[in-house]
Structure 1
């Protein structure tokens, strides 16, 4: 039985399911793909004990939150709008926004665009990046035999058919293969955030472990499985289907800095660190995030940072929050 409270909130014209625990200054927690608010179970409890009000929504399209029908309703601006509306409904003037994976992208953009509502940001895995020189559909590789996973995700219905065939297997493979439990990352390491063969699917090269790592108990895995059996994967995949549209919209705030205090954490074995240029992007973040408190690498952890290394994350996050 989960200690956090659960509720449904009408915000920005859609119904959001939220998990909440604690009282005090608000901390808003944004999950990634394929996760839900339950990914923040350790942080909800720790932040509550530390004197904060922690709220984690199932982002639009996920879990028990509403899944808008149109693909175009999943831009980063749509989700930032949800967060702003959520603050209003919660009766809060501002919040610290925290995110992992896609949630990190959302958190960075929320802090960049609305520093009046998001007074600080903590991001895990995905660093703050400037606008790419070209649209992602042109930037990411593909050829006659393979394509970058974002191209695979962008074809309507294709990834859904594969990922929804057996949700438990899908999540086991993705969670394990992107975790630090795979070991040190090498070029030959199966990577769910890499190339997909045109005659196959995302899951083909991923490991289906005989048992899940200790950081993901069977009861917790079952909660994720239940959530995606409800929502399917279309909502989460629609975030990827708006990558080019996000790039177009980003032109309106080209050159805008993230002016609020910020913290960045990344797992030592995060799959994203293997992407070309990622270390340089992380090193260059102070140019666009001038109040960056630090970039810290979490030993032996992978992509699901707040689940894999909750003690490290909680300690770093609470220290950051108390220093604000």
Structure 2
């Protein structure tokens, strides 16, 4: 983006990397994140910006565009589509049984997932990054392919069933992995997991904007093998998104790509972003 003449800013969200890590669980609501975005724009004297986000970054970008369209010029959302609040709090309908529970429920109890993930941070990152990528193989509902964002065994935890790749995939260098390891060694996983622990709180807060559409220009992209597409109804949500996102220019399914599109297919992602930014003719 910088080489194309744009000002590109890539901040760590709260709880990650070098950014502050509040201890209070409730400090990680989606609107705390929106406030951080607006605060960053204010600190840098930027009137408005295009937000680019993957997964939780997409959720943050959608919420920022909905709440503060005066400061958000456009959104490039990757992976997570725009969804209105569900009729009930999310925790009330996530599945669980005696043997396993949905990963978002597994993350709810303070300290449990932290202990599993922080026992061997390099192993944790290798397993999760690989298992959610295209390199892990085809992703079909019910095919049994290990998925880090699905049901979690009460006995084996989230990491147990996931493969540990003998060789890192081509898009993940050893140097990059060690940078991630150093960052999570410094920050731990409490902050990232607290985003999930605010799902019900977010639901309560987002009801204030229920039915409010995303009017700013939007491009949406997702890997064709993104693990999120195995969630029942996800493709239908993506197909029907224009009703709530009239600013949607297009939805792009990226070939040979899993959940980590900016890392797995950076050239395609950049091409899509540059095309989208070029359409916003008033950008500097």
Query: Do both share a fold (TM > 0.5)?
Result: yes
| Mapped partners of 1:144, 1:188: distance in 2 | 19
Identify the structure with the greater strand proportion: 1
Measured against aligned partners, the alpha-carbon deviations of 1:239-272 in whole angstroms (never above 9, x if no partner) come to 0000000001111111110010000000011000
Deviation larger for 69-78 or 128-137: 128-137
Cα distance in structure 2, aligned partners of 1:236 and 1:57: 15
Matches within 5 A, 1:39-118: 47-118=1-72
Is the aligned partner of 1:274 residue 2:226? no
1:36 corresponds in structure 2 to: none
Could you say which residue in structure 1 is the equivalent of 2:272?
A: 316
Q: Which of the residues 131, 134, 140 maps onto 1:177? A: 131
Gaps of 5+ in 2: none
Report the equivalent of 1:10: none
Write the deviation string for residues 21-63 of structure 1: whole angstroms up to 9, x where unpaired: xxxxxxxxxxxxxxxxxxxxxxxxxx00111000011100001
SS at match of 2:245: coil
Residue 140 (str. 1) matches residue 94 (str. 2) = yes
Aligned to 1:221: 177
In the alignment, the residues of structure 1 paired with residue 105 and residue 71 of structure 2 have an alpha-carbon distance, to the nearest angstrom, of 34
Task: Name the residue aligned to 2:263.
Answer: 307
- Deviation digits for residues 187-223 of structure 1, max 9, x if unmatched? 2110000001112211011110001101011101110
User: Post-superposition, which runs of at least 4 consecutive aligned residues in structure 1 deviate over 2 A?
Assistant: none
Deviation at 1:276, TM superposition (A): 0.6
How do 1:193-204 and structure 2 match up within 5 A? Answer: 193-204=149-160
- Alignment-derived partner of residue 295 in structure 1: 251
Instruction: Name the Cα RMSD after superposition.
Output: 0.6
- 2 CA distance for matches of 1:293 and 1:250? 24
Aligned to 1:152: 106
TM-score (norm 2): 0.97
Q: Tell me by how many angstroms 1:228 deviates.
A: 0.1
**CA displacement, residues 61-120 of structure 1 (integer Å, 9 cap, x when unaligned):** 001111001000000000000000000001100000110010010011111111100010
SS of corresponding position for 1:209: coil
Distance 1:136 1:97 in 2: 25
By relative contact order (CA 8 Å, sep 6+), the higher-ranking structure is 2
